[in-house]
Amino acid sequence: MHSHLNDMANHKSALKRIRQNEVRKVRNRYYHKTARTALKVLRNEENKAAATEQLPKVIALLDKLAKRNIIHKNKAANLKSKLTKHVNKLA
């Protein structure tokens, strides 16, 4: 994982920056993937009560991703809108 440290930077601050970027990349990828899975689960949900209960949690996830700039805020807004419509359409 850290093999790329040797052949790049010579400055202490740059090395630290590389380490931080690596950690953040992994963390952001995890958050993004978790959110995508949550979206999929909610989209496939047939039960209105269960979907209604899941919706606020998924919206909170999307808001966090948008706040951290992992996804664009407009994309988060579009997804929230679509999901809300989907949940309201369920019988």
Alpha helices in 44-91 (DSSP H): 48-67, 73-89
pLDDT at 65 exceeding the cut of 60: yes
Range 82-88 average pLDDT: 92
Q: Which domains, and CATH codes, for the chain?
A: 12-89 (1.20.58.110)
Among candidates 27, 43, 34, 29, which has minimal Cα distance to 79? Answer: 43
| Interval 4-61: pLDDT, tens | 555 677 899 999 999 999 999 999 999 999 999 999 999 998 898 999 999 999 999 9
Give the C-alpha separation, 50 to 87, whole Å: 10
- 70-82: average pLDDT: 94
